[in-house]
Amino acid sequence: MSKVLYIKANAKPEGVSRTFRVSDSFVESYKESHPDDEVITLDLYKENIGFLTEDDIALHNVEFGEGKDHPVLKYAYQFLEADKFIISAPFWNLSFPAILKAYLDYVSVSGITFKYTSQGPVGLCQGKKVIHFVTRGGAYSHEPLSAFELGDRYLRTLLGFLGITDFTTVALENMDRSDTNIELVVTDAIKDAREEAKNF
Ligand SMILES: Cc1cc2nc3c(=O)[nH]c(=O)nc-3n(C[C@H](O)[C@H](O)[C@H](O)COP(=O)(O)O)c2cc1C
């Protein structure tokens, strides 16, 4: 049985957000094909994720096992306990919504999700896998604009730092162009996502 964390980062709600429409379908199909797995939905806006405070930062050197009920550290422990991650976030200002960065600041805690060694930092989240859903107003998958894509790239890098190298991206692009048949693109993506979920 796997533990799956479905991390949602968008101010827009389900049904309205194109990104959520695709990722929600993926999760629905995943639950059907993996009935014994535990899927926890973490809607970062509903969780009221905030910015790290001075007190929070002081806690970043805890002994492993301490602070499991702490409002910030609990997210790092929850992250460590999960086997798979589904991350859903639209492309905002060349990256992703700031609340997702705030959440990553919550989960990147030395002693919990990574550690410092004499050889340098080591991720403690090996063996886990991620699928990242994103929709973008324009197109940033190919050069030269790919250099401006700092969302998926940051996620891959940071989660790689935590030890996660199995990372898949599902990106829908040109979603704000008038010549894009958005409904068709979303419907096709939902079909593909439902299939992909069966083998995630
Ligand atoms: C605050 C904000 C910033 C955005 N920044 C970009 C951007 O830098 N580049 C881009 O191509 N689209 C940008 N967009 C457009 C969204 O990426 C696009 O509309 C996306 O499909 C929205 O996903 P959603 O329907 O799940 O909310 C931005 C949208 C918003 C609301």
Please write the tens of the pLDDT for every residue from 120-141. Answer: 999 999 999 999 999 999 999 9
Q: Per DSSP, what are the bridge partners of residue 114?
A: 110, 123
Question: For 29-34, what is the mean pLDDT?
Answer: 98
* CA atoms lying within 13 Å on the CB side of residue 187: 5
User: What pLDDT, on the 0 to 100 scale, is given for residue 184?
Assistant: 97
Q: Provide the annotated binding site for FMN.
A: 135-138
Question: For 28-33, what is the mean pLDDT?
Answer: 98
Closest CA to 23 of 165, 159, 169, 164: 169
Atom of ligand 1 minimally distant from the CA of 21: 26
Atom of ligand 1 minimally distant from the CA of 139: 11
Closest CA to 31 of 62, 73, 2, 64: 2
Atom of ligand 1 minimally distant from the CA of 136: 17
Residue to probe by mutation, ligand 1, list 17, 19, 44, 93, most atoms within 8 Å of CB: 93
Q: CATH number, domain at 133?
A: 3.40.50.360
Provide the residue range defining the domain that includes 50: 3-198
* Per-residue pLDDT reduced to its tens digit, 7-23: 999 999 999 999 999 99
Domain count of the fold of the chain:
1
User: What pLDDT, on the 0 to 100 scale, is given for residue 59?
Assistant: 82
* Per-residue pLDDT reduced to its tens digit, 71-103: 999 999 999 999 999 999 999 999 999 999 999
- What percent of the chain is modeled with pLDDT above 70? 100
**Residue 150 Cα, ligand 1 centroid: separation in angstroms?**
13
**Residue 195 Cα, ligand 1 centroid: separation in angstroms?**
26
User: What pLDDT, on the 0 to 100 scale, is given for residue 60?
Assistant: 77
- The set of residues, in sequence order, having a beta carbon less than 8 Å from that of 147 and lying 6+ positions away, is none
User: What pLDDT, on the 0 to 100 scale, is given for residue 61?
Assistant: 76
Task: Decide: 6 and 39 in contact? Cβ < 8 Å.
Answer: yes
